[in-house]
Amino acid sequence: MQHMSMPLTLKARSYQAMHVFDNHIHIISVEEHLTTFNNGVAIIFEQQCRSKLNDQRFILAKLEYVGWVEEILELNYGILKTIV
C-alpha cells in the first residue's frame, strides 16, 4: 500500500487570536488601543547554566520569561499542523 501524504504548504497561516488552555489570546497589535490586554504570556522554566564557557560545573537555574504575543502562526507539514 502506497503512503499518501499531503503536500507541504509554502506559506504559514497567520491568526489574530486563538483559544488555548482555557484562555483567549490576541496578538498585541489588535489590542494596542485598549486599556486591558489579553496578549501577555509568562513562563518559568529550568535550564542548566554555567558561569564560564570552560566551567564544567553546571547548576540548574529557574529562568522567568514575561512578554506578549506578537504573532500566531500555523505551520503545515503535510500530516502535521502546529501553532507557534
Could you tell me how many helices (H) and strands (E) the chain has, helices first?
Answer: 0, 7
pLDDT score of 57: 86
4-63 pLDDT tens trace = 555 666 678 888 888 877 878 888 888 878 777 777 788 898 988 887 788 888 888 898
pLDDT score of 1: 47
Distance (Å) of CA 2 to CA 5, 7, 78: 10, 15, 16
pTM for this prediction: 0.58
- Residue 36 C-alpha from the chain's centroid: 22
Contact 6, 36 (CB under 8 A): no
